[in-house]
Amino acid sequence: MNTFFKKFFWKNMTSDNTTTTTSDTTTPGSAGAQDAATSAGADAVDSAPAEGAAADAAAKGDEILRDNIRLRDLYARAIADFDNYRRRVVREKEELRKLAAQELIEDLIPVLDNLGIGLATAEKHPEAGPVADGFKMIAGQIKATLESHGLREISPLGEPFDPNVHESVSETPHETIPEHNVAVVLRTGYRLHDRLVRPASVVLSTGKN
């Protein structure tokens, strides 16, 4: 009887030890695999935000570069527009200045004509010499002032006829001036800057008889 219980007890103890040993042997390996899988998953989770942040930074850099190029282009256009505006203002200001003086100068042209006629008449009278000299000086001052504002005389004696600035009123023979050249200037013409104010009235030569 005692022998039977000893054998049964020994068998059960051996079975328990085997199970325990097997369980103890397999558990550390399984735990290591689980730890490795867990670590790999954590690394994958950690790397995903980093890659997304790098992509966002690259996209933001491209956007900043495009904005920089666009702003540089806008700046260059603004500078060009301002330069054109400044030149236009200077040009318009100069044109206004010319136009403002134009009416006054045109009104003074008949005064110059009358001074010229008066001086020509005075030269025929020697006794009026001192007075004529005084008026010549005044006429010269007036002409110099008007020339400083862009007025130019057109007095084409002996020059070829130019229909753009000359007005022919008659013809006459002339011993020294060639045909179709100006033989006599009846009335002086005037040009204000590039604009013809009044053509010169002339008599053309027909050459020798």
Position 88 scores a pLDDT of: 92
Sheet holding 195-198, edge to edge: 151-154, 189-192, 195-198
DSSP letters spanning 76-114 = HHHHHHHHHHHHHHHHHHHHHHHHHHHHHHHHHHHHHHH
User: Which residues lie across from 59 on neighbouring strands?
Assistant: none
- CA–CA separation, 37 vs 42, rounded Å? 9
Q: What is the pLDDT of residue 21?
A: 43
pLDDT (0 to 100) of residue 181: 95
User: Model-level pTM greater than 0.75?
Assistant: no
> Which domains does the chain show, CATH number per domain?
151-209 (2.30.22.10)
Contact assessment for residue 101 and residue 146, using Cβ atoms and an 8 Å cutoff: no
Question: Over the chain (209 residues), what is each successive 10-residue block's mean pLDDT?
Answer: 48 48 44 49 54 75 86 91 92 80 85 87 83 87 89 94 95 93 94 90 91
Q: What b/e readout covers 149-167, taking b as 16+ CB neighbours within 10 angstroms?
A: ebbeebebeebebeeebbe
Rounded to an integer, what distance in angstroms lies between the CA atom of residue 67 and that of residue 99?
47
Which residue from 111, 132, 112 is spatially nearest to 120, judged by alpha carbons? 132
